[in-house]
Amino acid sequence: MATRVIGRVLATVDVPIEMARSTTAAALRQTGWGDKEAAMQADIMVSAELCGNNQGLVKMFQPKLMAPAPGAAPPAVERDALASAVINANQSPGMLAALMAADLACDKVLGAAGRGGGSAAELPAIAIVGAYNSSTSSGQLAYYAEHMAKRGVVGICLANSPEFVAAAGGAKPVFGTNPMAVGIPTGAGAPPFVFDMATSAIALFGVLTAKAKGEPLPPGVAYGKDGKWTTNAAEALDGGAIATFGGHKGAGLALVIELLAGALSNAAVLGQCESKKAAKSWGHTVIAIRHEALVDGFGGKAASVLAAVKASGPSIRLPGESSARIAAQRRAAGTMPIPKTIWDVIEETARHGLK
């Protein structure tokens, strides 16, 4: 594995993709996870890292934080109904809760194997699953939306997290980075279209990564403790706040996701708890739609829209396009670059366990 130095401080190592996945899973087992949960979380983080997303293996930088939370139990389904359910994550990580919610929503509209059969006509075309009481972020939300689209449904995933984001300059943080992701099947054999965005001007892991790399933040994405703009990641993290994107519309969307992924999923909400950070109850709301119930040939229609938008001008880049290109290049090479400081921790933990 070659070590490369990018910029001032960022050294990366090129790691074979399968080794990244298996070593990360081994490190997670060392922190206390069973085989299945370790493999699931490793796949989610490696998938994010593979496409250059900033919510990937950075999560492993402090492996202690990835260990099962004290007193945690496996996520459990509550209020299970025809077209809805709620998952109590029981302080399990957001990754496990979000994937379980995504699969349960898909099962409800597609019919789960072993559910006793039943034709599509008897199944609801749409289902909603909320998840609350997870102890950490689910990471790159696109993973779950893509997973759903690969199962053949339209997937809408919303996530709510503790207070990092302020609704305006000079205001206290109230929102999470409150992302939304949408996965759209584009026809048999074709990769799904996936849209994933935080309603904050930058993802929390973007700020953490900037701090780790010692790089400045872009202008207009974070406030310092004094409520004024800062490009210093450490200042933003120390009593400051992240901004919402896109003016008052972005702030409104952040609020809507706070309501749909926080209040509706039964997660902790401000005003009913002192602090969402202290309550440690991250929320997710996942919606699956069996498009065949509404329209024939949805995949082809979606592909047609995407092609028309791509062809509408010389400089159009579709959402997910550069992520997909980066992932494809890395798959072709068989290796992916991982920050050396992070990879060292993963390898060390896989070999010798938590220190």
Site for a second copy in 273-302 (CB under 8 A): 287, 289, 291, 293-295, 298, 300-302
User: If binding is defined by CB under 8 A, does position 317 make contact with a second copy?
Assistant: yes
Q: Among residues 58 and 241, whose Cβ is nearest to a second copy?
A: 241
Contact flag: residue 261 with a second copy (CB under 8 A): no
304 part of the interface to a second copy, by CB under 8 A:
yes
Minimum CB–partner distance for residue 146 and a second copy (Å)? 14
- The yes or no reply on residue 122 touching a second copy (CB under 8 A) is yes
Element housing 181 (H / E): strand 180-184
Residue 34 sits in the site that holds a second copy (CB under 8 A):
no
CB of 19 closer than 8 Å to CB of 347: no
Per CB under 8 A, the list member of 33, 245, 282, 343 interacting with a second copy is: 245
Any contact of residue 313 with a second copy (CB under 8 A)? yes
Number of residues that bind a second copy (CB under 8 A): 78
Q: Which is nearer to a second copy, 62 or 272 (CB)?
A: 272
The CB-of-153 to a second copy minimum distance in angstroms stands at 11
DSSP 280: T
Q: Using CA of residue 231, residue 237, residue 240, residue 243, what is the dihedral sign?
A: positive
Residue 39 vs 263, nearer CB to a second copy: 263
What's the closest the beta carbon of residue 129 comes to a second copy, in angstroms? 9
Q: Give the residues across from 183 on adjacent strands.
A: 155, 194
Per CB under 8 A, 125 contacts a second copy: yes
Smaller CB separation from a second copy, 148 or 182: 182
Closest contact distance (angstroms) between CB of 300 and a second copy is 8
Read off φ and ψ for residue 258, nearest 5 degrees.
Answer: -55, -40
Show contacts with a second copy in window 139-168 (CB under 8 A): 154, 166-168
How does strand 84-88 pair with strand 126-134? Answer: parallel
- Residue 5 found at the interface with a second copy (CB under 8 A): no
Span near a second copy by CB under 8 A; candidates 208-216, 232-240, 270-278, 334-342 = 270-278
Q: Which residues pair with 350 in a beta bridge?
A: none
Beta-carbon contacts of 10 under 8 Å, excluding residues fewer than 6 positions away, are 213, 339
Closer Cβ to a second copy, 15 or 109, answer by number? 109
Does residue 112 bind a second copy (CB under 8 A)? no
Q: Which residues contact 16 (CB under 8 A, 6 or more apart)?
A: 1, 334, 335
Residue 51 lies near a second copy (rule: CB under 8 A): no
Told to check if 312 binds a second copy by CB under 8 A, we report: yes
**Using the rule CB under 8 A, is 318 a contact of a second copy?**
yes
Count of beta carbons in the 10 Å neighbourhood of residue 278: 10
The answer to whether 43 and 21 are in contact (CB under 8 A) is yes
Render 281-343 in DSSP notation, one character per residue: -EEEEEEEE-GGGT-TTHHHHHHHHHHHHHTTSTT---TTHHHHHHHHHHHHHTEEEEEHHHH
Q: Is 269 an interacting residue with respect to a second copy (CB under 8 A)?
A: yes
Please select the residue that binds a second copy; options are 278, 309, 328, 354, rule is CB under 8 A.
309
89 residue type, one letter:
A
User: In angstroms, what is the minimal distance from the CB of 121 to a second copy?
Assistant: 7
DSSP string for residues in 78-128: ES--SSEEEEE-TT--HHHHHHHHHHHHHHHHH--TTS----GGGS-SEEE
* Site residues (CB under 8 A) for a second copy, limited to 186-215: 193, 195, 197
Positive or negative, the CA dihedral 122, 180, 190, 113 is negative
Q: Does 121 bind a second copy (CB under 8 A)?
A: yes
Contact flag: residue 314 with a second copy (CB under 8 A): yes
